């Protein structure tokens, strides 16, 4: 339980110390919104990196070369663990907003960082509200902000991937943004298989080559989510053999 206690303690201290940082970021934003975004993003990415270190996560990242550098992208990942978000945020090379559960919007201090970093909170119970958020994500993409979505909708309780919700891929279909599939392997063994204990685990994260939904044909064009899921499933099987 020591790792769990240390992680919770660090998060609590970071959120408290964040309050004066927000004031600094507000002042920076008066002169440069881009600088504010980058600094804010790096602050959270650093904090998540510390959490990964405290948790003893031995992670390997493959495929950075597959992330386009000249345009915003939609990252699409499988979802095994809460640590998918922690590691995903830490390793993404540029400002990236996450589509998250509505419950995280209710956590004081954390919600401020999430709003500041372009996160959107899906209800999963109100289709009209969620559609507006999907449209908002499209606006962020057009403004040059990467977005990250887990189309399964929730963490897998068995380790097996659920079907992908096709609506999530509309962010890419309607903006023309490349989809970068992200494969998380073995993250559930950090926490979910023995909650609330955090334990050391080896994790592999792979960025796959980008997918242009506009060039897909046939059934893949009708169901790009299912196509991207198949790519991640193949990589998941390959990466699991390396552990």
Q: Quick check: 225 pLDDT over 90?
A: yes
The residues pairing with 184 across neighbouring beta strands, listed in sequence order, are: 205
CA distance 177 to 74: 7
How high is the pLDDT of residue 30? Answer: 96
Backbone angles phi, psi at 180, to 5 degrees: -105, 105
DSSP output for 34-96: HHHHHHHHHHHHHHHHHHHHHTTEEEEEE-GGGS-SSS--EEEE----THHHHHHHHH-SS-E
Q: Quick check: 157 pLDDT over 80?
A: no
Sign, CA torsion 118/6/106/153: positive
Residue 172 lies in domain = 2-240
Under the banding of pLDDT at 50, 70 and 90, the label for residue 183 is very high
CA distance 77 to 174: 19
How high is the pLDDT of residue 161? Answer: 92
For the chain, the average pLDDT equals 94
Under the banding of pLDDT at 50, 70 and 90, the label for residue 69 is very high
- b/e per residue 23-57 (b: at least 16 CB within 10 A): eebeebbeeeeeebbeebbebbbebbbbbbebbeb
pLDDT digits (tens, 9 = 90+) for 27-45: 999 999 999 999 999 999 9
Number of domains present in the structure of the chain: 1
The residue behind tokens 């990242």 is 61
DSSP-derived 3-state class of residue 125: coil
Strands, sheet with 57-62, edge to edge from the N-terminal-most edge strand: 57-62, 201-207, 179-185, 74-77, 146-149, 96-101, 120-122
Q: Which whole number is the average pLDDT over 200-217?
A: 96
How high is the pLDDT of residue 102? Answer: 87
CA distance 219 to 40: 40
Q: What CATH number is associated with residue 6?
A: 3.40.1130.10
Which structure tokens are listed for 133? 């958020």
The residue behind tokens 């963490």 is 155
How high is the pLDDT of residue 215? Answer: 94
Under the banding of pLDDT at 50, 70 and 90, the label for residue 98 is very high
Q: Which whole number is the average pLDDT over 68-77?
A: 96
Which structure tokens are listed for 129? 């509200």
Q: Which whole number is the average pLDDT over 188-201?
A: 93
Q: Quick check: 5 pLDDT over 90?
A: yes
């Amino acid at each position: 339980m020591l790792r769990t206690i240390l992680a919770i303690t660090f998060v609590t201290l970071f959120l408290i110390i964040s309050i004066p940082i927000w004031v600094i970021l507000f002042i920076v934003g008066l002169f440069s919104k881009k600088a504010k975004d980058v600094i804010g993003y790096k602050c959270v990415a650093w904090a998540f990196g510390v959490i990964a270190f405290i948790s003893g996560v031995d992670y390997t990242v493959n495929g950075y070369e597959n992330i386009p550098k000249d345009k915003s992208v939609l990252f699409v990942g499988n979802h095994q663990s809460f640590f998918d978000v922690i590691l995903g945020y830490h390793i993404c090379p540029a400002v990236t907003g996450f589509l998250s559960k509505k419950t995280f919007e209710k956590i004081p201090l954390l919600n401020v960082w999430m709003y500041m970093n372009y996160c959107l909170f899906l209800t999963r119970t109100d289709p009209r509200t969620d559609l507006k958020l999907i449209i908002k994500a499209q606006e962020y993409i057009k403004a040059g902000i990467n977005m990250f979505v887990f189309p399964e909708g929730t963490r897998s309780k068995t380790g097996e991937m659920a079907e992908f919700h096709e609506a999530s891929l509309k962010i890419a279909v309607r903006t023309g943004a490349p989809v970068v599939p992200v494969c998380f392997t073995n993250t559930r063994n950090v926490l979910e298989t023995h909650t609330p204990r955090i334990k050391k685990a080896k994790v592999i994260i792979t960025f796959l080559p980008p997918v242009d939904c506009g060039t897909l044909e046939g059934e893949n064009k009708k169901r790009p989510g299912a196509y991207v899921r198949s790519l991640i499933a193949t990589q998941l099987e390959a990466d699991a053999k390396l552990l």
